[in-house]
A and B are shown apart, each in its own frame.
Chain A
């Protein structure tokens, strides 16, 4: 079974902090994704990556950046956290056009 592991289930940070959300997958998948999930809005794509050191902006990249230094790890970075970034963050991975596999999610609160 594919395992996508997100480093934290719950995280509380302060406004202005630099926040790192980590995601690791164990199936040698090329594709990795970061989503934000908010009630009534569904899942919105923040960034995705098709290969190491490669990244593409999704629908809502503002205020975020990503890093993919190794194939199995995809990090989401909030450069200067703001209260409107309080949300559930989901990481996913996939092989080409196969279904995506998701992590458990990180519920991030910015105070």
Chain B
């Protein structure tokens, strides 16, 4: 069974600074997807970034980038130039690429990020 661990329950960062959220996972699968989702205080969960395990290049989306280390089973999220609107719960999630339960997400427990002015 797959597990996802986020070791930082809460973090804070000053506006305009850079912050990195950690995520590790455990799986015996070789092909899979990893995601970071953001849940602002308004509660709707929004996809931030996606990484396919077969791709060596780290995914980036504007100010958001990941450091994907497949051998170490690590998938951290870096937020550059933090903005007040980045304040949210951030969830790391794993999805199998194929086979049974395809499409199911395994979530970590989340990291609450506060961006301070």
Contact = CB atoms under 8 A, between A and B. Distances in A.
A40 B43 contact: no
A101 B45 CA distance: 8
B95 A97 contact: yes
Interface of B: 9, 33, 35, 37, 42-47, 50, 91, 95-98, 102-105, 107-110
Nearest to B92: A42
A41 B44 contact: no
A31 interface: yes
Contact of B91 (A43, A58, A99): A43
Query: Size range of the interface on A?
Result: 20 to 34
Interface stretch (A20-28, A62-70, A78-86, A88-96): A88-96
A85 B2 CA distance: 26
A58 B101 CA distance: 10
A99 B46 CA distance: 10
Contacts, number: 51
A100 interface: yes
Given A96-B102, A97-B33, A41 B95 contact: no
B9 A40 contact: yes
Nearest to A95: B103
A63 B108 CA distance: 23
Contacts of A103: 44
A96 B42 CA distance: 27
The 8 tightest CB contacts between A and B, nearest first, are A102-B45, A42-B109, A43-B107, A31-B103, A105-B43, A99-B47, A42-B107, A104-B44
Contact of B43 (A41, A88, A96): A88
Given A88-B43, A105-B43, A105-B44, A42 B108 contact: yes
Contacts of B109: 40-42
Nearest to B108: A42
10 contacts: A31-B103, A33-B104, A42-B110, A43-B91, A43-B107, A58-B104, A94-B103, A97-B97, A99-B35, A102-B37
Contact of A97 (B91, B102, B108): B102
B44 A97 contact: no
A93 to B, nearest CB: 10
